[in-house]
Amino acid sequence: MTPVEIVVEVVGWAGAVLILLAYLLLSAGKLTGQSIVYQAMNVVGAAGFTVNGWWHGAIPSAALNVIWMLIGAIALWRIVDRRKKAGDPVS
């Protein structure tokens, strides 16, 4: 395996772990769908899956994860925007 192939695999597995961990924390009630952490984990995880899927030629998987990433990014933007308007801390 080349160094690039190893990076692509690590990025893909890291993405998988992030998405699964986000779902686990959501299901356990530790995070909510309106959590910046939850949405950020989904965005970064989907980005990792996108890279891995594209590299391996799994276009349906890559496309699904681009959409997943966009949904998360829009939700994240709305959460941050809403908190700024309310004067709440963004962290």
Domain residue extents for the chain = 3-84
Task: Dump pLDDT digits (tens) for 41-60.
Answer: 999 999 999 999 999 999 99
d(CA 29, CA 35): 11
Task: Share the mean pLDDT of the chain.
Answer: 96
pTM of the model: 0.91
- The answer to whether 16 touches 48, Cβ cutoff 8 Å, is yes
What's the one-letter identity of residue 65? Answer: N
Q: What is the DSSP letter of 31?
A: S
Question: Distance between CA atoms of 21 and 45, rounded to whole angstroms?
Answer: 10
**Token pair recorded at residue 2:** 């080349």
Biggest distance spanned by C-alpha atoms of the chain: 50
Give the position of tokens 């950020």: 40
